[in-house]
Structure 1
Amino acid sequence: MKTNWKGLVLVGLISSASTLAGFKLFSDNDGKDVIFKEAPAESITRFTSTGTPVGAPGDFVYAAEATTPTVVHIKSTMTRQASRGGGQQIPDIFRDFFGDEFEGGSRGPQSQEASGSGVIISADGYIVTNNHVVEGAQELEVTLHNKSKFRAKVIGTDPSTDIAVIKVEAKDLPAVVLGNSDAVKVGEWVVAVGNPFNLESTVTAGIVSAKGRGLGIIGQSRRGRGVTPASASSVDSPLESFIQTDAVVNPGNSGGALVNLKGELIGINTAIASPTGSFAGYAFAVPSSIVKKVSSDLIKFGNVQRGYLGIALDDLDSRKAEEYGVKVNDGVYVREFTENSAAKAGGVVKGDVIVKVDGVNVHSIPELQQSIGLHKPGDKVAITVNRDGKEKELDITLRNRTGGSDILKRDESAAIMNALGAQFGNLSDQEKQRLSRYKLDGGVKVVSIDGGKFARSQVEEGFIITKVNGKPVRSVKEFQAAITGKEESMVQFEGLYPDAPYDVYSFGFRL
């Protein structure tokens, strides 16, 4: 019977002192070098990512001792608003993963705390974690392994991979060594380190159960018990190619480390498959290859520079191969092209089956997306397609999401609007007339909420925002102008619900 992963997967707010091996330099926004420690390259064919022969035992003690000092505890503070009605309805995402229980109370802002994990990736304070760990937070407090506490700021987030980078002002911190997630073998022993249920520095072990797992959870609109790690409106081409493991991972492990037995980071723990919200057998981690790409881009550019083929895809099996009339049943079928498609410009045609990228076999859409997603616009990749039973290699120059090859600068206004996780609309003449009875000139209506900071604040659809930081807003244009340039600042919103115009509510958070 086919398992319904989407129904089972809950985003886990699950939430090296090792020999210096290699270096990779990236410039941050201040022009400083960010130093990543990387493990030396190993043969993927004959060895595991630990560098030992396939099947050889490893040392759990060494892995734990090397990794634990690099994993931090992250506490986020946010203001949320109680829902309308008799009692406050805490979203399941908090009830399942943070265990917060609140009863009764009237609608109004509530300050609450959540926790997760993070991994130090450079000695000068850069930390990688999950986007859903820091999303909507007004304040972030990081506790190191030695109990030192720091305030952290968000450097950048990427909802499409559920990865975020934060920074603390500290020096000479123990940084994890980045391992080669591509070299990880199914069946290989791994260790998970994090802070489940606020139990700091917890280590568990298991094996890699599968690779390249696509679950369809990133960008999934959250309704009822379904959980999404990010606002659907803020996700651009979700990139999922999870490492699946049976190492015990629970609420609070989110953003923590998944390492091999040399203590090298091979993934960031992100989600669990569970009908209850607690560990029930399987957990999923973002591979370190994706973590490295995303985190370095966030530090250097403020957003992720991803290359795109510009094609609509479908996985193949024997039945679909027969349906499509292709000669192979393993690979990724090209159904359609997007506008300004890089693949089409490079010679790919509809009906081709992509079987390799840069000489490496691809068997599924997640594997293909990972291979391409690690490149930036303008990069050239060798795509091998099976066309009418014969293989043909094509050189493709990847493009950005707009169809060009330039590095995309961060749109501050769009980034802030996406972070809010809501769609806004102007009031109708009838709505304006009704508000005028209460001496209000107008406002901006919350049309829909898909996640993000507004969902965390418990704002409901239909809420009318009348002021931002104490100043009236009468249109979406005025609303956008009011929040533009307010990144990393506290913003206070004021408004009301049309059916209770005398009840004015105020809530705020850091953008």
Structure 2
Amino acid sequence: MKKLASLLIVAILGGILSLCGYKLFLEEESVASIAGISSSQPHQSSTIIPANYTNTVYGTNADFTEAAEKTVHAVVHVKNVAVFNGPRNPFEYYYGNRGEGKAVQGAGSGVIITPDGYIVTNNHVIEGASELEVTLNNNQSYTAEVVGSDKKSDIALLKIDAEDLDYIPFGNSDNVKLGEWVLAVGNPFNLKSTVTAGIVSAKARDLNTADAMPQSFIQTDAAINPGNSGGALVNINGELIGINTAITSKTGSYIGYAFAVPSNNARKIVEDIMEFGDVQQGILGIRGGSITPAAVEEYGLSTSQGVYVASVSPGSGAENAGLKEHDIIKQIDNIKINKFSDLTGYINSKRPDDVVKVTYLRDGDKREVDVKLTKYEAYRITPIGLEVANASKKELRNYNTDYGVKINRILRNDLPAEEFTGAIITEINNEKVSDIRDVERVVESKSTADPIVVTFIDKKGEKQRVVWR
């Protein structure tokens, strides 16, 4: 009997030890596998959060509160005020109302960039204003003056008479990464001090507007609506990386696609306006475009990304550096060039006489060359949709003429770009033109109702005459 009891006790102890061993080794290994831990080290604690865990769980470690607090006081409300004088209808004199007053014809946002009151915004926010009213986040209002603006980039610089203001420092937009968290700060629908969050959806996005220079926008899915224009796009450090400018929407309101002028481009424009009074734009001196599948097949290219050089402008920095037709630009300085908007976005942040290192392919061989940028000088004949630039002596010789300006770009979709681009205009309204200043003088002096008569030499060397009414 004693022997039977001893065996029973041993059996029970053995079962307990086996169960403990199972719990210690087999179940612990099972939990480690579920948690995704591949290390052979003993598992110390479970990373699985119980269903009744009371603390908030975030899907990101990003904290927006500090960036919002840093920036919300440096974004202002900009009101575009029209001042009218005299009667607006024939009954106002009869009732003794002289019709004098003010009316808000548009509103947007602006970003304070210095403590003494310089503000950057969009040109379309302030365009046509008789008076500009700027309201700070603390409800103080000021009358703003336009220091300068650039319609091509849609950037304007304002100044208010104030001191010790909160401001947002410029960040380096070249360092922005896809998927990076950003905040949009502005005044949508006249709602002051609104902050929305999103990520960088794309870089160097070109909206392909026919009447504008090739642009290079930062695309974000942070909610941007009417009134956000001119406001700040900032990173989580509270640095300005873009000026919110446009949305793509069939309804006119946010649907997930918003665009900002990169801060490097905006900063360069602002500094140009402050130092020179206008924008100093440097150019490589090439014509070309992004490589497409059709171009790869047609020209037998060895790469599917980059900028294909279709032609090189005579006398330009590109020609002086040895770039040629059919070269493929792959990188400028440390910026990879996958498409044309990558190139324009970076070059637009530079000035004439800046030197950039261009990495390119020629016949499959990789080469590098330093290119000194030349000044971009052009004039838009807006009524007829042509942009003209000064022609080099070589270009004039090629067209067998001693004077004229070249058609640099077509601004309208209904004009044949291949036929007009590169042609030499010799006369406008029967007056000889030798440079863009002559063109500006002739066009600005004509009556709005008068037609514009353009005489030009086409690519076949034949003189043509076109009348635009």
User: Offset at 1:338?
Assistant: 2.8
In 1, are the aligned partners of 2:208 and 2:214 still within 8 Å (CA)?
A: no
Pick from 69, 73, 85: which aligns with 2:73?
69
Structure 1 match to 2:179: 187
Name the aligned partner's letter for residue 355 of structure 2: K
1:42-80: per-residue Cα shift (whole Å, max 9, x none)? xxxxxxxxxxxxx97221111111110000000002369
Match runs of 1:103-502 below 5 Å:
112-217=104-209, 220=210, 232=211, 238-402=213-377
Name the aligned partner's letter for residue 196 of structure 2: T
In 1, are the aligned partners of 2:173 and 2:242 still within 8 Å (CA)?
A: yes
Q: Give the Cα separation in 2 of the matches to 1:366 and 1:211.
A: 9
User: Offset at 1:353?
Assistant: 0.2
Structure 1 residues 111, 342: CA separation in 2 closer, same or farther (over 3 Å shift)?
same
In 2, are the aligned partners of 1:176 and 1:264 still within 8 Å (CA)?
A: yes
Structure 2 match to 1:106: none
User: Offset at 1:380?
Assistant: 1.1
Q: Give the Cα separation in 1 of the matches to 2:129 and 2:175.
A: 35
User: Offset at 1:402?
Assistant: 4.1
Q: Give the Cα separation in 2 of the matches to 1:185 and 1:61.
A: 21
3-state SS of 1:178 partner: coil
Q: Give the Cα separation in 2 of the matches to 1:343 and 1:332.
A: 14
The count of residues paired between Structure 1 and Structure 2 equals 324
1:457-486: per-residue Cα shift (whole Å, max 9, x none)? xxxxxxxxxxxxxxxxxxx9799689xxxx
3-state SS of 2:66 partner: helix
User: In terms of mean alpha carbon deviation, does 65-74 or 375-384 score higher?
Assistant: 375-384
1:3-59: per-residue Cα shift (whole Å, max 9, x none)? xxxxxxxxxxxxxxxxxxxxxxxxxxxxxxxxxxxxxxxxxxxxxxxxxxxx97221
Q: Give the Cα separation in 2 of the matches to 1:241 and 1:61.
A: 29
Q: Give the Cα separation in 1 of the matches to 2:334 and 2:176.
A: 18
Name the aligned partner's letter for residue 78 of structure 1: A
Q: Give the Cα separation in 1 of the matches to 2:294 and 2:279.
A: 37
In 1, are the aligned partners of 2:312 and 2:323 still within 8 Å (CA)?
A: no
3-state SS of 1:296 partner: helix
User: Offset at 1:112?
Assistant: 4.7
In 2, are the aligned partners of 1:194 and 1:202 still within 8 Å (CA)?
A: yes
Q: Give the Cα separation in 2 of the matches to 1:282 and 1:216.
A: 15
The higher relative CO (CA closer than 8 Å, separation ≥ 6) is in 1
Q: Give the Cα separation in 2 of the matches to 1:80 and 1:169.
A: 25
Structure 1 residues 275, 301: CA separation in 2 closer, same or farther (over 3 Å shift)?
same
In 1, are the aligned partners of 2:120 and 2:158 still within 8 Å (CA)?
A: yes
In 1, are the aligned partners of 2:79 and 2:104 still within 8 Å (CA)?
A: no
In 2, are the aligned partners of 1:359 and 1:384 still within 8 Å (CA)?
A: no
Q: Which structure has the greater CA radius of gyration?
A: 2
Structure 1 residues 304, 386: CA separation in 2 closer, same or farther (over 3 Å shift)?
same
Q: Give the Cα separation in 2 of the matches to 1:313 and 1:79.
A: 46
In 2, are the aligned partners of 1:334 and 1:352 still within 8 Å (CA)?
A: yes
1:183-235: per-residue Cα shift (whole Å, max 9, x none)? 21111111111000111101111111111101123xx4xxxxxxxxxxx4xx6
3-state SS of 1:344 partner: helix
**Unaligned 5+ runs, structure 2:** 1-58, 86-100, 385-410, 413-439, 451-469
User: Offset at 1:239?
Assistant: 4.3
3-state SS of 1:212 partner: strand
Q: TM-score, normalised by structure 2?
A: 0.64
Q: Give the Cα separation in 1 of the matches to 2:370 and 2:237.
A: 37
